[in-house]
Amino acid sequence: MSRMSILYDGWPLIYQPDSPEAQHLMAILSCHLDGIQSLLALPAAPPDWLTVEAHTHVLPAANSPRSRLTWEQRTLPGVRQRLGADLLHLTSPNPPLFSSTQSVVSPSAFVMNFQGGGFASRLRQAASQGGMARLRGLFWPNDLPLPLETGPLYRLPPVVPPGFQEEEIHQADALDLPEAYVLYHGPADERALRRLLDAWSWVADSLGGAYPLLAIGLGEDGREHLASLATEYSLGETVRSLPALPPLALGTIYRRSAALFHPLIDPPWGGPVRLALASGTPVVSFESELMSALVGPAAYLVPHGDARLLGAALITVLVEEGVAQKLTQEGRQRAAAWSLPSFAAGLESAYLDILKKSQ
């Protein structure tokens, strides 16, 4: 069998570097796969922190919904054909629809509500549904319940990116971090931010001064919207946010946080809850089948949709040291089995199986 080459969609590394998609892509690119060449398509020149063993190809594209749609449906299939790559590997469920490109997806994006988005966003969502029907492989963590999607499914060992695989302090020292804080690492859409602040409102009066809510991963528009909502909710200085961060800085930010406040469903790969478990950061979130399978006893979960109970759970974690310590220990124990070599072996096996079936 000739040498295989895989083209990776590097859009998140440029325009969403602190997103779950970027986190998972960094984990993939840190794998050493024998006999497999890694190709990385980027919409802009690689930043200084991006040092990966992949052949990078810069195809300039603006950061807009319409440009992202064109990137996924035309640019990536074109560069895959030009480079002769065997597979296109995406970290968001948006494979090309009108293309012969063989695509695989390891889903790392938050599930978003596109009903309120613009035309390009809705068209992207519609195209992705057709593209997913022609997928050659859906890569899924083997510690989660099976997805609803049908088609070729490959279950791989869980993994976290390089910044969460060791206790080293990366790049976050220069940031102006609060002495103590509660972390939110999630999307910036209206529904998610209002759900967050509905729950945070139960915490802010009593503990918001000592433990402000620190949000990351929002983008500039999301940061402005969060600040506006914090004013609307009369939450003042208890809500802060940080600009876009390089992926290797996130491990430090997680390890320094008092808790992860996560009123959302976690993406299968690269999500905040998985990152928090690997960091020994207590998790407070809503119950769901996926969440329960992911965390086991390593998180404080409450019934879905109850903002008051979610706020009360966070207060408990912040004031009762024994509870926080137990969650930290359980999280570290759960994440101890997550191995980059095991994931790399599973990933390589999946690639080879797909290539064999396509011949």
Dump pLDDT digits (tens) for 191-246. 999 999 999 999 999 999 999 999 999 999 999 999 999 999 999 899 999 999 88
Instruction: State pTM to two decimals.
Output: 0.93
Whether the Cβ atoms of residue 214 and residue 177 lie closer than 8 Å to each other: yes
Q: Which residues share a beta bridge with 104? A: 89, 137
Q: 263 by DSSP, 3-state: which?
A: coil
Do the domains 4-159+339-358 and 182-335 sit in the same CATH topology, yes or no?
Answer: yes
Yes or no: domain 4-159+339-358 corresponds to CATH 3.40.50.2000: yes
| Residue for token pair 């449906």 | 73
Res 115: pLDDT: 46
Whether the Cβ atoms of residue 285 and residue 263 lie closer than 8 Å to each other: yes
Ranges of the chain whose pLDDT falls below 70: 1-2, 99, 112-133, 150, 165-174
Yes or no: domain 182-335 corresponds to CATH 3.40.50.2000: yes
pLDDT tens per residue, range 76-111: 999 999 999 999 999 998 888 776 779 999 999 997
- Please state the domain extents for the chain: 4-159+339-358, 182-335
Res 112: pLDDT: 57
Res 100: pLDDT: 74
Query: Cα–Cα distance between 105 and 146 in angstroms, integer?
Result: 15
Res 148: pLDDT: 81
Give the neighbor-by-neighbor strand order of the sheet with 153-156.
55-58, 36-42, 4-9, 87-90, 103-105, 137-141, 153-156
